[in-house]
Amino acid sequence: MTLSLQWLNDYLKTDLNPDQIAEALTSIGLEVEKIESSESMPGGLKGVIAGKVLTCEKHPDADRLKVTTVDIGGDKPSSIVCGGPNVAAGQTVWVAVPGTTLYDKDGNPRAINTSKIRGALSEGMICAEDELGLGESHEGVLVLSDDVKIGTLASDYYHVTSDTILEIGLTPNRSDATSVLGVAEDLAAYLTLQNDVEYKVQWPLIPEIKKADNPQAFKVNIRNAEACPRYSGILISDITIGPSPEWMQKHLQSIGVKSINNVVDITNFILHEIGQPLHAFDADKIAGREIIVETKKAGTPFLALDGVTYKLSEEDLMICDGEGNPMCIGGVYGGLNSGVSNTTKTIFLEAAHFNAGSVRRSSMRHNLRTEAAKRFEKGSDPNITVKALARAADLLSQFASGKVASELFDIYPKPISPVRIKLNLQKINETAGVKFTIQQIERILNALHMEIIEKSADHLVVTVPTNKADVLREIDVIEEILRIYGYINIPLPGKMNTSVAMESRFALHRMRRLIGQLLSSNGFVECMNMSLTSPAYYKGLNATDASSWVTIHNTSNESLNLLRPEMIIPTLETIRRNVNRKQDDLRLYEFGKSYHQHDGQPSETEHLVVSLVGQQQPVHWQSKNGNAVNFFSIKSEVHALLSRLGISNWTIRKIENESGLEYGLEYLTNNKPLVRFGKVSSAWCDKMDLKQNVFLAEFMFETMIQKASEYTAIYVELNKFPQVQRDLAIVIDDSTSFEDIQKVALKAGGEWLTNLQVFDIYANADQLGAGKMSIALRFTIDNRDATLTDKDLDQWFGKMQRALTSALKAEIRK
């Protein structure tokens, strides 16, 4: 929000400097983001001086240009090339000297320098009125009366005033600080307490609204009182459209608001002064002489002030005419065909209190972030609408010749009363860390205009003004007390106490860090996707039960309205984005949640997703064809992670065309899914326009952490007896899995078998037979009690061969 220092000082009847105001604002919780100077006219007309044209001759090389000499009060006349058709010797004109920056009426800067124009020296510029921001005309130079002295500064001639502007950051809860008077009231309360001098805000004198001599017929019909708890309005006739008074233009200019005309300027002035948005309709354009406040059917078109036609939602509150035609999105934006124009004679002036949530949703839905919407969405004061209308009626009477032409419409079916809050004095002191006396608390509450309606030795009951929409609880009032007392005045204790937080080494955030460090050290990159995705991605995939999906109403992007029901599609989105930018070899991981609902109750499941795309190693001269990732690549990453967490002893289930995986494995522990991994379905990749093979592992994070917490590290002394390795090749059915072999080998080998590896696989139907394969196994044998003898090994190896031939119908290759 933008504040004028002069405006604040006027209402406070003070002469505080910018630093004093900034310090006070910061103390009451209004952060000052920027302080800068501002002039009531663009650039302050600095460097513009009155001069007398001494000579004026045609430019030798350009017919439309003239070469002049101008006396601006210096040691010698200035040579200036001018294109103004009306420039002539003897005129008094405004001259922008070199080094000046001029601003047009739209605030666009133009630097003036000494230069040569078509070979002629030009030491400045003779100005037209539009070049000074004084008007619209560019027909010729601005000629002054002869009584203007040479050397007169334009800033003095036009009484340009300077001001200081403060940009403050408003948090969403500060509905009371959306106007100059609101901030002034807060400052007055703070300054009163800090300086032991009572500061009072000097509100403008607002006379009551006069009754119309001959009230015109008009009606107001509120059909949605929930979205519009109060609607006030009045007809003002005999309007004369013209410029607003100079002082008002200067006030608006100082805070960056462009002057339009007297009617629009008055509504903008009151918006910033009091904080109540007003809307002026051309009454002659309101069909049926009736205002209807209602919602319309979804898809109803609305032609707005910016010339854009918006499709309305059934939730948008609309201000309509008597025929139901939308004229304005309530509290947000006006329509193109109902606003004030240069021919307007009668206006209907609206001052309403709209539901904050309704305004915010409409504003965000249509991306219309207006000044009015920003105030309504914080919670406007419902009890100030008539005062704002009275202020407007008075100003319109003074500066637009307006007259009240109807009764005052004020539809307020359920008046909103100030909230009553009980304050416990002991709790105030305990929360604040300050020992307040009851007199101090009373003084602060009085300064905040919080009326004390009940008082005892240990508590107070106060009423909270309706402009403080966020102050609803005892703790909120305590915060208000501390703001005005000054956070900087709260003493720091001489001793600080803290507690040591004890947590499990398997706390989720610690395990995420451990796993992330492992994966990152192995070349993986962490990614973070939004929890929102598009339902269109899942069309035709048969991914999850759509009835369990959790959807939201996303006003920012209606296509992203689904909380992700699984993790593969969001991962493929990330892969697609990277592949489209020539990042073909990817190693990614993400911690994230999927969302479902059952019987109306939402649930979240946390996952760890690891994915591989492209080559395992960069292509180089020794491996020109590269080494593409495959199923065993992702399997090795899964085993490495499970090994690091000490997880073992799982059961295995094969996956085929299931939940996004074309093929793969699922590991289970205690019949609960631990991880599933494999090749992502081609249909899913095609849906995301991916031609690359994607291999992915999806860990059930909470199950994985629970299983990891059961692991106890066992430290074993190095074996002082030598290990022995033996190789064995067997012919088995090609449907036999390594897990089947491993299970038999571990049972037959006992404690001596410490490792089992496959180092070769061979398949040849002519030599081995159809459906057969040869697999070469390497056994690592380790006895911790004695050195293994040849007899020991022969007995052990014979037992192993018998077990394999018996259980797997294997044939020993000689």
pLDDT tens digits, 727-740: 999 999 988 888 88
Q: Is 208 annotated as a binding residue?
A: no
Q: Is 751 annotated as a binding residue?
A: no
Indicate whether this model's pTM tops 0.95.
Answer: no
Dist. CA 665–CA 682, nearest whole Å: 17
The DSSP string of 132-166 is GTS-S--SS--EEPTTSPTT-BHHHHTT--EEEEE
Q: 389, 415, 487, 421: which is closest to 193 by C-alpha?
A: 487
Average pLDDT, the chain: 89
In this prediction, residues 264-283 reach a mean pLDDT of: 94
pLDDT in tens, 606-656: 999 999 999 988 777 766 666 889 999 999 999 999 999 999 888 899 999
Sequence-distant contacts of 793-801: CB under 8 A, at least 24 apart:
793/724, 793/726, 796/749, 796/752, 797/726, 797/728, 799/748, 800/728, 800/745, 800/748, 800/749, 801/728
Stretch among 189-198, 501-510, 683-692 having the lowest mean pLDDT: 501-510
341 class by beta-carbon count within 10 Å (0-12 exposed, 13-18 middle, 19+ buried) = exposed
- pLDDT confidence bin for 39, thresholds 50/70/90: low
Confidence at residue 10, expressed as pLDDT on a 0 to 100 scale: 87
pLDDT in tens, 538-550: 888 877 788 888 8
Dist. CA 239–CA 220, nearest whole Å: 21
**Strand segments (E) across 285-408:** 290-295, 301-303, 309-311, 317-320, 326-329, 333-334, 347-353, 403-404
Q: Is 167 annotated as a binding residue?
A: no
Burial letters 625-656, b for 16+ CB under 10 A, else e: eeebbebeebbebbeebbeebebeebeeeebe
Q: Which two tokens stand for residue 151?
A: 């050397």
Confidence at residue 345, expressed as pLDDT on a 0 to 100 scale: 95
Mode of pairing for the β-strands spanning 550-551 and 562-563: antiparallel
Dist. CA 776–CA 794, nearest whole Å: 18
Q: Which two tokens stand for residue 126?
A: 């003779």
- pLDDT confidence bin for 89, thresholds 50/70/90: very high
User: Residue 95 pLDDT > 80, yes or no?
Assistant: yes
Cβ count within 10 A of residue 64? 9
pLDDT in tens, 441-460: 999 999 999 999 999 888 99
H helices of 676-737, in order, are 682-687, 701-709
Confidence at residue 303, expressed as pLDDT on a 0 to 100 scale: 94
In this prediction, residues 263-281 reach a mean pLDDT of: 94
pLDDT in tens, 717-775: 888 899 999 999 999 998 888 888 989 999 999 999 999 999 999 988 888 888 899 99
pLDDT in tens, 323-379: 999 999 999 999 999 999 999 999 999 999 999 999 999 999 999 989 999 899 988
Cβ atoms of 302 and 347 within 8 Å: the answer is no
Q: Is 106 annotated as a binding residue?
A: no
